[in-house]
Amino acid sequence: GNFDLVGNNMPVFFIQDAVKFPDLIHAVKPEPDNEMPQAASAHDTFWDFISQLPESAHMIMWAMSDRALPRSYRMMEGFGVHTFRLVNSEGIACFIKFHWKPLLGVHSVAWDEAQNISGKDPDFHRRDLWDAIEAGAFPEWELGVQIVPEEDEFKFEFDLLDPTKLIPEELVPVQRIGKMTLNRNPDNFFSETEQVAFHVGHVVPGIDFTNDPLLQGRLFSYTDTQLIRLGGPNFHEIPINRPVVPVHNNQRDGYMRQTINRGKTSYGPNGIAANDPKQAKASEGGFVSYNERIDARKIRARSRSFFDHFSQARLFFNSQSDAEKNHIIDALSFELGKVKGVEIRSRMLALLAQIDKGLAAEIAFALGLHIPEIP
């Protein structure tokens, strides 16, 4: 089958739990009364939401930094974001985070450069990638992994299953294990790109999921999205999504069905067709979920290990050069300068002060406001 590593160009995300994802999307979209602004976060509803969601602090630091303005897709890191499991043939597991490291290095553009580029050529990044591949300058990324033994799950000051946290590479170095090369462009954009149905639930034997609450929500939402976006339950049979090795199961019919099945049985167990097809055993290469021991109460609440929202946001800000810090300050000053609600701006300043008081002071000065008292 296919293994889809559906990640991001930043190692963390805004929310810890998938239940908040619809609210995040509603907040960042154009405001529903006037459908403005288009494709931008500099407006009241987004920052009203973020200012009351301290778990987003780390992601906001990344999103307002130079990492949000890549010089090229060829110079952009990739991250699996979530913590997954690797499981060997003996059923022994470890935790893993996936990384893509560009061989060209990580490079960004400045804010004024980004404005100039987007105004003159909105297809700049797409064109850059296409032209490089056409010229034979094939972009490459090394696949890296951070591996944590199961017995070390609780040795960190953060929760490994919190998608708003990363594992510092000083604590767990990234091991390079492979390479991806893009060596040809699509022949048809719609057929080979628009119809791609990446799915976080598409894994292969040896890779399994964890109880990361955002990951668990994505396992459902990606199926739900593709059902609607691609017109039916058989999106996996569209040629660009079809596994190289044929799949035999009891699925039948439905819109977009490509396979023409023969025979009368489409259920199991069955005696008519000698119980064929049946699920393959692990010894035959079949997928078997990890046998995780759980001894806990299942409740609708966040673990206390998810409560530290500012340590890694502060660590990221302090890791930046003076110029990079100024870019974060300028970006936040611009974004919050577009927010009309003074209460929203003040609430956001209070949140930023918990990351770094100097950061909050610079933005407060730019906005002509005072930093409110933190209770």
Give 104-128 pLDDT, tens digit per residue: 999 999 999 999 999 999 999 999 9
Closest CA to 18 of 202, 292, 220, 309: 220
List the domain boundaries for the chain: 18-271
The pLDDT-based confidence of 49 (bands split at 50, 70, 90) is very high
Q: What is the pLDDT of residues 168-203, one digit of tens each?
A: 999 999 999 999 999 999 999 999 999 999 999 999
| Mean per-residue pLDDT of the chain | 95
**Tokens at residue 212, please?**
């990361």
With beta carbons less than 8 A apart as the criterion, state whether 145 and 177 touch: yes
| Fold adopted by 18-271 | Catalase HpII,  Chain A, domain 1 (2.40.180)
Inform me whether the pLDDT recorded for 313 exceeds 90. yes
Inform me whether the pLDDT recorded for 375 exceeds 70. no
- Residue 100's beta-bridge partner residues? 78, 143
pLDDT given at position 167: 98
pLDDT (mean) for 338-360 = 97
Q: Which residue has the tokens 């929760």?
A: 159
Q: Which residue has the tokens 């810090």?
A: 325
Cα–Cα–Cα angle for 6, 10, 12, rounded to 5 degrees? 85
Inform me whether the pLDDT recorded for 40 exceeds 70. yes
DSSP single-letter state for residue 39: T
With beta carbons less than 8 A apart as the criterion, state whether 310 and 318 touch: no
**Tokens at residue 262, please?**
């023969």
Inform me whether the pLDDT recorded for 373 exceeds 80. no
Which string of DSSP letters, residue by residue, matches 297-323?
---SS--GGG---SHHHHHHHHTS-HH
Q: Determine the Cα–Cα distance for residues 89 and 104; give it in Å rounded to an integer.
A: 36
